[in-house]
Amino acid sequence: MAKKVSLLCSVLLLSLLVLPASFSADQKKEVLVIKVDGVINPVAAEFIGRSLTTAAQMNAEALVIELDTPGGLDSSMRNIVKDMIASTVPVVVYVSPSGARAASAGVFITMAADVAAMAPGTNIGAAHPVSMGGGEMSKTMSEKVANDAAAYIRSLAERNGRNAEWAEDAVRKSVSITATEALKEHVIDIVSEDLPKLLASIDGRKVRTVMGEKTLRTAGTLIVTKEMTWRYKILDFISNPNVAYILMLLGFYGLFFEFTNPGAIFPGVAGAIFLILAFFSFQTLPVNYAGLLLIILGLVLFILEIKIVSHGILTIGGIIAMVLGSLMLFESPGPFFRLSLSLILPAVIFTAAFFIATFRLAYTAYKRKPVTGNEELVGMEGLARSDITEEGGTVSVHGELWSAYSDAYIGKGERVTIEAVSNLKIKVRRSKGG
């Protein structure tokens, strides 16, 4: 009997040990997939950083970044690379879909990946650094920046056993190659038609993370896609140079309308919001503040045109200043940081018309003679009904009799002009020709 009880306990204990293991084996591993499509900026850097954290929390087998970028900011790229290197989850960069590219900052991100892959019909390269702060770099500074970038990308390539010579050429000579050439030159690890095939092909591959060497088990894993939230999408949208430019102009319009029409409230509130959003965008863009000052100067010249007779010279100067400032505002060799000329010209013409028309209306209203109250009497003519002196007299205006006085003697029956109204008494002077 004791032997039977002992045998039963052994079976139960073995079952308890085996069942969790079988449940664990049946539970599918997950791969987190995100898409980065556009310029590498602080929004993209934050999105990738948060995604790496999410992948670690869900104990994902890997994080796949589907990449398609023309490049972006050096600071944002370096933040992304640092997060990737420090990740406990293996990172796979997949340049896709067909027609996509990993240019400039995208090359560095691809080189930093534990697994670098490309879809057929994609390309990678052209990573030469450019001035991202507005203005041209001196020859010495350009060499320093190029040397720093070359050393950085070479270290990333060597870390992951890739072609360091080509990586350096991508920086120094801006070379670019196709996916097939990249695989042949050992710039990337795999060329794959789609994501499921990519995950199947890297299954069993060994990669090195901060936690040590890890063998990828990605075949048949559950693919979890993480989209950008509305917050990221909105921030990414307003980080577009053209959108930032429009927000800045709308902010100026709103505040100007509020200052010329105190109490309207809505234009002032909207203008302040637009300007704050524009200033946020400027933090993510290579702003040339000389261009911003030229735009402000153009707006000032439009306003001065109303008060100073310049025969259009101030308006022409304002248009020139604003066009030049707009062209200089986001100075960068990369087209993704330039303002579209088809946006600049209509914006300048509309701004000139808006400021001139709005300020003219406000200035005309300010100078217009009052048409109600006692103030409307100022400047009107009347007839002296009695002799008028400093002591007083009587004047007929609009069929009404008013008590009046004058600094100079005015005889009865003479025409007078009203100079001021005070406490139901008017001050008059003899009318010209009266």
pLDDT (tens digit, 0 to 9) for every residue of the chain, 434 residues total?
A: 555 545 545 545 555 444 444 434 445 789 999 999 999 989 999 999 999 999 999 999 999 999 999 988 888 999 999 999 999 999 999 999 999 999 999 999 999 999 999 999 999 998 877 644 444 556 777 788 889 999 999 999 999 999 999 999 999 999 999 999 999 999 999 999 999 999 999 999 999 998 889 999 999 899 999 999 998 888 888 888 899 999 999 998 888 878 777 777 888 899 999 999 998 888 878 788 888 899 989 888 887 876 776 777 888 888 899 889 988 888 665 666 778 888 888 888 888 887 777 666 666 665 655 555 566 677 788 888 888 888 889 988 877 888 899 988 888 888 998 888 887 788 888 887 65
Cβ-in-10-Å burial (0-12, 13-18, 19+) of 146 comes to: middle
From 82, 144, 197, 425, active-site residue:
144
3-state helix, strand, coil in the chain (%, to 5): 50, 20, 30
From 51, 104, 326, 332, active-site residue:
104
Nearest to 111 by CA among 40, 181, 182: 182
Angular region, 427: left φ>0, alpha ψ -120 to 50, beta rest: beta
The H or E element spanning position 115 is strand 115-118
Nearest to 326 by CA among 352, 292, 353: 292
Distance CA 240, CA 233 (A): 11
CA distances from 90 to 31, 44, 50, 106, 242 (A): 10, 19, 15, 18, 36
Distance CA 135, CA 424 (A): 67
The verdict on whether 104 is a catalytic residue reads: yes
Q: How many helices (H) and strands (E) does the chain have?
A: 14, 16
In words, the CATH class of domain 26-232 is alpha beta
Q: What is the DSSP string of 401-432?
A: EEEEE-SS-B-TT-EEEEEEEETTEEEEEEPT
Distance CA 116, CA 111 (A): 7
The pLDDT of residue 16 is: 46
CA distances from 433 to 341, 397, 416 (A): 61, 18, 10
Nearest to 164 by CA among 147, 148, 152: 152
- Asked if residues 170 and 185 have their Cβ atoms less than 8 Å apart, the reply is no
Q: Which residues pair with 125 in a beta bridge?
A: 103, 176
- Type of residue found at 301: L
Domain locations in the chain? Answer: 26-232, 241-367, 374-430
Phi/psi at 58 (5° precision):
-90, 5
- Asked if residues 256 and 355 have their Cβ atoms less than 8 Å apart, the reply is yes
The pLDDT of residue 269 is: 92
Distance CA 122, CA 102 (A): 8
Q: What is the DSSP string of 74-94?
A: HHHHHHHHHHHHT-SS-EEEE
The pLDDT of residue 222 is: 94
- Asked if residues 35 and 224 have their Cβ atoms less than 8 Å apart, the reply is no
- Asked if residues 151 and 157 have their Cβ atoms less than 8 Å apart, the reply is no
The pLDDT of residue 24 is: 42
CATH number of 374-430: 2.40.50.140
Nearest to 115 by CA among 247, 214, 24, 227: 214
- Type of residue found at 125: G
The H or E element spanning position 396 is strand 393-397
The verdict on whether 310 is a catalytic residue reads: no
The pLDDT of residue 333 is: 57
Structure tokens at 296: 């402000």
Distance CA 354, CA 120 (A): 51
Q: Which residues pair with 163 in a beta bridge?
A: none
